[in-house]
């Protein structure tokens, strides 16, 4: 059976991750890092696109990846049109929605755009799987409090589902037969209620939930209105303040959890208070999703980059450890999950869906 040659692209706020697989074997796994302040000078996602693509192609050339031998390109998805989990072919309509920010703005939208350009040049498929716009919400979760404002599904679907499947495996069960609460802890933080293989509720990763290293999370609405009408910030400046310049960055001047932990060790009580407050807010959302699942929860899963922090995860466990067993999977299994998804799609085990049909 053929071992497919797969290029995996995963664009984040301050990084571009790439991996080259032959079958399930990674032959290259690299990351290009960017300074968060440097990226703020780009006023739109499309302005970042040429630099991100050129840097990526330069690294692929340096690593001697022969692009003309590739069978498929798979990218982490962006916040596009809501739809069920699964595999979707990348096309122009999808990329236009992503780059225009029609359903939300996030640098992950750059990945599919780069993948589409490369796939056209190489005449191979380009796909995404379990994008952040994956929508499996129960109807109750869509109600906000205002009839013309609907709560929308936008979360780290790929990594949450990969971590949930790993926890199910460790429990000796199938993901589709148990309930879990999964918290993705990174530059964005999302906490989801997984009910028998579907995420029936989750905070919106851009506009709700705990504050994060660079996002403000849920805020008192009247105070946000005052900030909006003060005239100090225009709409785009306010968006950047909420997503990119909020959270740890706003309070402590850095989004780097490692640096913050060093400050805590040196006796910085303000850094300790803010870092603990972020853990406290994560714990509160875990409790909320525990309630969504009526307390029928086999495990609580902590994953993502911040799960490397023993201090941060210890604080969360102190608040929620009595609810259910806690599984900690530091980092992300996204590159492996993307490659495995591409293999299943190329073998025909997963149907490649059309974004236009959503």
pTM, full prediction: 0.85
Q: What is the mean pLDDT of the chain?
A: 95
Each residue's pLDDT tens digit, 261-275: 999 999 999 999 999
Each residue's pLDDT tens digit, 234-283: 998 999 999 989 999 999 999 999 999 999 999 999 999 999 999 999 99
Q: Of the ranges 17-26, 30-39, 148-157, 220-229, which one carries the lowest mean pLDDT score? A: 30-39
CATH of span 155-324: 3.30.420.40
pLDDT score recorded for residue 60: 97
Per-domain residue ranges for the chain?
A: 5-134+334-357, 155-324
The answer to whether residues 191 and 202 touch, using CB atoms and an 8 Å cutoff, is: yes
The answer to whether residues 108 and 12 touch, using CB atoms and an 8 Å cutoff, is: yes
Share of the chain above pLDDT 70, in %: 100
Run of H or E residues at 178: none
Q: Which residue do the tokens 């989750």 mark?
A: 202
Same fold? 5-134+334-357, 155-324: yes
Question: Is the backbone of residue 333 left (phi > 0), alpha (psi -120 to 50) or beta?
Answer: alpha
Each residue's pLDDT tens digit, 48-96: 999 999 999 999 999 999 999 999 999 999 999 999 999 999 999 999 9
Each residue's pLDDT tens digit, 102-159: 998 889 999 999 999 999 999 999 999 999 899 999 999 999 999 999 999 999 999 9
pLDDT score recorded for residue 14: 81
25 contacts: CB under 8 Å, gap ≥ 6: 3
CATH among 3.40.50.620, 3.40.50.720, 3.30.420.40, 3.60.15.10 for 5-134+334-357 = 3.30.420.40
**Closest Cα partner for 189 from 164, 224, 162, 154?**
154
């Amino acid at each position: 059976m053929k071992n497919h040659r797969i290029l995996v692209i995963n664009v984040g706020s301050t990084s571009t991750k790439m991996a080259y697989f032959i079958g399930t074997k990674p032959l290259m796994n690299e990351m290009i890092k960017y300074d968060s302040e440097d990226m703020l000078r780009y006023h739109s996602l499309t302005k970042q696109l040429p630099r991100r693509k050129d840097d990526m192609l330069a690294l692929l050339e340096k690593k001697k990846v022969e692009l003309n031998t590739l069978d498929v390109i798979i990218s982490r998805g962006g916040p596009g049109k809501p739809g069920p989990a699964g595999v979707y072919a990348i096309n122009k309509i999808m990329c236009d929605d992503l780059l225009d920010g029609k359903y939300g703005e996030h640098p992950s939208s750059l990945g599919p755009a780069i993948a589409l350009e490369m796939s056209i040049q190489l005449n191979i498929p380009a796909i995404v799987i379990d994008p952040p716009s994956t929508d499996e919400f129960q109807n109750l979760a869509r109600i906000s409090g205002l009839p013309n404002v609907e709560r929308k599904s936008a979360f780290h679907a790929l990594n949450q589902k990969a971590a949930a499947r790993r926890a199910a495996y460790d429990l000796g069960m199938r993901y589709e037969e148990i309930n879990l609460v999964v918290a993705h802890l990174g530059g964005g933080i999302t906490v989801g209620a997984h009910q028998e293989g579907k995420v029936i509720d989750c905070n919106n990763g851009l506009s709700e939930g705990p504050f994060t290293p660079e996002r403000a999370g849920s805020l008192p609405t009247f105070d946000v209105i005052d900030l909006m009408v003060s005239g100090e910030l225009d709409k785009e400046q306010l968006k950047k303040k909420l997503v990119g310049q909020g959270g740890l960055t706003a309070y402590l001047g850095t989004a780097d959890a490692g640096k913050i932990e060093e400050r805590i060790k040196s006796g910085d009580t303000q850094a300790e208070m803010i870092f603990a407050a972020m853990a406290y807010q994560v714990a509160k959302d875990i409790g909320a999703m525990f309630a969504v699942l009526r307390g029928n929860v086999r495990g609580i899963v902590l994953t993502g980059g911040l799960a490397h922090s023993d201090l941060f995860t210890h604080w969360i466990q102190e608040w929620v450890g009595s609810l259910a067993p806690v599984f900690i999977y530091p980092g992300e299994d996204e590159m492996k999950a993307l490659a495995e998804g591409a293999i299943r799609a190329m073998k025909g085990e997963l149907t490649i869906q059309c974004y236009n049909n959503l």
